Structure 1
Amino acid sequence: MSAAATRHCPAILISAPASGQGKTTITAALAYHHRQQNRKVRVFKTGPDFIDPQILSFACGQPVYQLDLWMMGEAHCREMLYRAASEADIILIEGVMGLFDGDSSSADLAQTLSTPVAVVIDAGGMAQTFAAVGYGLAHYRANLPFAGVIANKVGSPGHAKLLKEALPENMPLLAAMAKDDGVGLPSRHLGLLQADEIGDLDLRLARAAELLNSLAPCRLPEPVAFAPITTTASPPLLTGKRIAVARDAAFSFIYQANLDCLMAMGAELRFFSPLTDSGLPEADSIYLPGGYPELHLQTLANNVAMKQALQAHHQAGKPIYAECGGFLYLLERLTDQDGHAAAMAGLLSGSAQMQKRLVNLGMHSLQLEQGEIRGHSFHHSQLETALQPFTESKPQRNRSRSENFYRVGSLQASYLHTYFPFNPQVAAGFFL
């Protein structure tokens, strides 16, 4: 490994004591602010998240990729950051949950990748205790790289001064955002609303960036050294293959890295909308990713031409790969939380009912003929089917339950959202 090839770029991982402290709002505001300063900003999201990256991508004007040590592997995470450092003026990584939460936590990622942590703390109703929370997070684990704290929902300039004075000398207040209900990001059962659903997102982010600099100047993070790493190139297993990828308001849970992986293996991607298109693009295979089909029941049910096109594709023996929301769309029937039901594509026998509570959550590994692939499960629907699974996943956590993986002819489907670059050979097998 050549030291001369090491790349340096200002970088920071933005975490918090818990969910709901404003990590996404702060990270998006920082990205928007630095972009306004004509800096090229690259943003990453810790963990298997689809929705936050849409907001962050809007803010930075670049695709947002995930970072997860278990789902992706350390080498792949390092490779992603090294590539970003070659073109970015600043790298921001949004954490997941609280700083130390989870089996592959934000702290684990920061420590493994030597990326300093900035902790966002909701300072509403707090004074000196703000400093105590920051100090506790900084010193809970030895050798955690810690850059400082960011105060959210600050009441006034005097409040910001009080917070800053309470901090130890070696713990800087990196930024302070004034309280403003107009910058909050609306949410639903799976998290925040998608970027395209927030009509005033640009105004919210502009206001958030303004507030982030209204009480104290926003600092640029310190440079971080990113060492080069060599990984194996994806095999050209999909050369000449055309893959039709569903992408619209109902099917938008797609890792950009998955699309990159398919193209790196030689596939040509053609996007279509099950909501509005009357037919499929000319393609050898179909990829139906997750999303919110339950929010578009009637539109999906009424698009009979699309359902017929999918049925014809399946009857011709051509591959279809479906994940979570895409899996639900292939069932005979789907019922939303309010009890409204509609006929879906009917390629798989069975139905699903949306529940008020989360049905399954967690990381999973899946073993198929070509090897292991990893991903995650996160769904509120309950499946009823007489289909016999081809195999089932293995949960990373004991308290999570396995997910069935179905194979009907050339159709493969499950609730799992798999991460293709973990094993391109398995990913290619979904479309061959």
Structure 2
Amino acid sequence: MTEPTRCPAVLIAAPASGQGKTTVACALARLHTRQGRRVRVFKCGPDFLDPYWLALASGAPVHQLDLWMTGEDDCARRLEAAAQEADLIIVEGVMGLFDGQPSAADLAQRFGLPVLAVIDAGSMAGTFGALAWGLQHYRDGLRFAGVLANRVASDSHALMLQDSLREPDHWLGALMRSSVMTLPERHLGLVMSDELGDAMQRLDAAADALAATPLGQMSRDDLQAWAVPFKAPDLPGFPAGALEGRTVAVARDAAFCFIYAANLDCLRELGAQLVFFSPLADAALPECDALWLPGGYPELHLEALAANRAMKDSLAAHVRAGKPVWAECGGMMALFEELHTVDGQRHPMWGLLPGSVSMQKRLAALGPQQLGLDGGTLRGHTFHYSTCTTPLQPGTRTEAAPGRQLRGDGEALYVSGSVRASYFHAWFASSPEATARLFSAGPQP
């Protein structure tokens, strides 16, 4: 048997969301990448937006790790593959360290990842030490790398925070409050990096600030204190050639951008050829046998979508030809007849499904779910700020992830001819067989 591959790795966590995990993860990745090291970054949980920033910072694709949605074996395989080529692996946690089922702490404990705690210390002093102590000792068996104070007011404030630690060696420094390196947010999370002209400048500013801390001054040798052995089990292969000879068109632009890199890999491993297009800018679909409309922000591009009538006609022709369409969340929203904004304005959409979508001021649904389809069960999640009204009856509904409960009904799967649409975001590799059926299924009678 081959020996495990050892590589320095760290999981960046926090006591809650909004503490600055992504900023610190990006800063650390950018700093070591600038120093010529090969950095591979992962995101814990089903997040679409943080990976855009993490990929920009590291210069490499970013994949999700989730012990339920992506699966323990998949996590192990991706971590081992990264360890074989990287000098440092960074995993950004999700929410608070112990939040969720499974949590970032569960992932850290399963793979022996040292935990670096980021704490927003802007409005505290001695309590900083209590939080750090609690994060380290709340659960037995967690490796603790140390703690970094974020949004600190001054050098004297940083000294108070440092003095509050029971274990001084765990102090990894302080990042001062600064708008220069802040990553902007909106209703679904961070603004995408490619929407900002100064994205790299923000990352460099964060990396420069981190370089002045003990964390930022760790050398290649220092990083070996975080070394972790990674070993993946042998995994079964994908269904050979299940989508061989088929071309799948994938919408990809500012309006349709919630795409797991692993989902693209899954389609390719099934044999599909992928072609990309922009519903905002292109006049027609590329030549294809099937279509994927992923989630995103159609609500931010209503005028452009409505004005592109040529694309609407091309999509309608695809559906009339009986070619498969898989539309999830934002992709499904665009298929309805109208979208109603929170201020009551009505905007025409593509009209390929009867009904309308209404934006809400508050989150409408959130959580890990699974969808049973012909060929298997897809794991994934739901996260949206809109609701839909349609005469279509659900073909089926999602179920809660094991150990979780749904508030109300699961997400509907709507089937209309060759169109299958849902608010549900799927992780294709959780059932390659179901995925293959999704992109090769014809109209339902």
Q: Same fold (TM over 0.5)?
A: yes
Question: Are 2:129 and 1:148 aligned?
Answer: no
Counterpart among 114, 120, 123 of residue 122 in structure 1: 120
Partner of 1:259: 264
Do 1:160 and 1:215's aligned partners in 2 also have CA atoms closer than 8 Å? Answer: no
Amino acid corresponding to residue 439 of structure 2 in structure 1 = F
The root-mean-square deviation of aligned C-alpha atoms, in Å, is 1.4
* Cα-to-partner distance string for 1:296-333 (whole Å, 9 max, x where unaligned): 01110110000100000000011111000000111111
Aligned twin of 1:419? 427
* 1:335 pairs with 2:337: no
Distance in 2 (CA, whole Å) between partners of 1:250 and 1:394 is: 28
1:161 CA displacement: 3.6
Letter in 1 for 2:273: E
Q: How does 1:22-421 map to 2 (within 5 A)?
A: 22-169=20-167, 171-216=169-214, 218=216, 219=218, 220=223, 222-235=226-239, 236-396=241-401, 397-401=404-408, 402-421=410-429
Preserved CA contact (<8 Å) 2:242 2:270 = yes
| 1:104-132 residue CA offsets vs partner (Å, 9 max, x unmatched) | 11111111121111110112233332111
Is contact 1:5-1:228 (8 Å) kept?
no
SS of equivalent residue, structure 2 residue 150 = strand
List per-residue Cα deviations over 1:146-197 (Å, max 9, x = no partner): 1111111223334334433332337512342122121111111111111111
The answer to whether the Cα contact below 8 Å between 1:390 and 1:405 also exists between their aligned partners in 2 is yes
* Contact 2:162–2:168, Cα closer than 8 Å, also in 1: no
Corresponding residue SS for 1:112: helix
SS at match of 2:235: coil
**Structure 1 CA distance for aligned equivalents of residues 186 and 139 of structure 2:** 34
Letter in 1 for 2:236: T
What is the match of residue 443 of structure 2? Answer: none
Q: Give the percent of matched residue pairs that are identical in Structure 1 and Structure 2.
A: 53
1:170 and 1:223 map into 2 onto residues whose CA distance is 22
Preserved CA contact (<8 Å) 1:178 1:212 = no
Output the amino acid matched with 2:232: P
Q: Can you list the C-alpha shifts for 1:338-377, whole angstroms capped at 9, x where unaligned? A: 3332221111111101010111111111111211111101
Q: Which runs of 5+ in 2 are unaligned?
A: 441-445
Counterpart CA distance in 1 for 2:406 and 2:286 is 42
The answer as to whether partners of 1:363 and 1:395 remain within 8 angstroms in 2 is yes
Paired amino acid for 1:226? F
CA contact (8 A) 2:354 2:390 kept: yes
Q: Secondary structure at the match of 2:85?
A: coil
Distance apart, 1:217 and its partner CA: 5.1
Q: For the residues of structure 2 that align with 1:379 and 1:246, how far apart are their CA atoms?
A: 19
- Is contact 2:184-2:191 (8 Å) kept? yes
- CA distance in structure 1 between the partners assigned to 2:286 and 2:429 by the alignment: 25
State the distance in 1 between where 2:341 and 2:261 align: 28
Mapped contact 2:319–2:419 kept (Cα < 8 A): yes
Q: Distance in 1 between matches of 2:373 and 2:213?
A: 54
> 1 CA distance for matches of 2:185 and 2:307?
27
The secondary structure found in structure 1 opposite 2:301 is helix
Mapped to 1, the partners of 2:367 and 2:145 lie a distance apart of: 30
The normalised TM-score by structure 1 is: 0.97
Distance in 1 separating the partners of 2:253 and 2:344: 24
Amino acid at match of 1:342: H
CA contact 1:6–1:227 (8 Å) conserved in 2? yes
1:21 aligns to 2:19 (yes or no):
yes
- Unaligned residue ranges in structure 1 (runs of 5+): none
The 3-state SS of whatever aligns with 1:43 is: strand
Q: Matches of 2:343 and 2:85 in 1, distance apart?
A: 47
